[in-house]
Amino acid sequence: MVEFNTTLENSGSLRTIVVICTALVVIVLAVYLQTANHQFIFDDEEYVTSNLHVVGGLSGENILWAFTSSHSSNWHPVTWLHLNKKDQSPVSDETA
């Protein structure tokens, strides 16, 4: 039977791992937190605000559409369902 040593040999290795993981988390947060206040981009109107299936709410008809249709040359039903669940009403130009 093979036994695995699940503890680190010395605290230097553990410290190195913690420093690397912390640095990675800080870098990722620094990059992605910048997007919190970004506005809609060029294709959001076509995909979200003007798409009646997305702004129409989560219904049987819209779920069927998400899995059986492509829109703007793309097929991504999970994205459609997520947007459908999240955005229950059309977004006006003033709030976009």
Q: Domain residue spans in the chain? A: 9-37, 44-86
88: left (phi over 0), alpha (psi -120 to 50) or beta: alpha
Asked if 91 contacts 49 with a C-beta cutoff of 8 angstroms, the reply is yes
SS3 38: coil
Q: Is the pLDDT assigned to residue 27 strictly greater than 80?
A: yes
The 8 Å CB, 24+ separation contacts for 37-40 are 39/96, 40/91, 40/96
Q: Tokens 């006006």 correspond to what residue?
A: 92
Q: Residue 10: what pLDDT?
A: 58
Which stretch of 27-31, 55-59, 65-69 has the lowest confidence by average pLDDT? 55-59
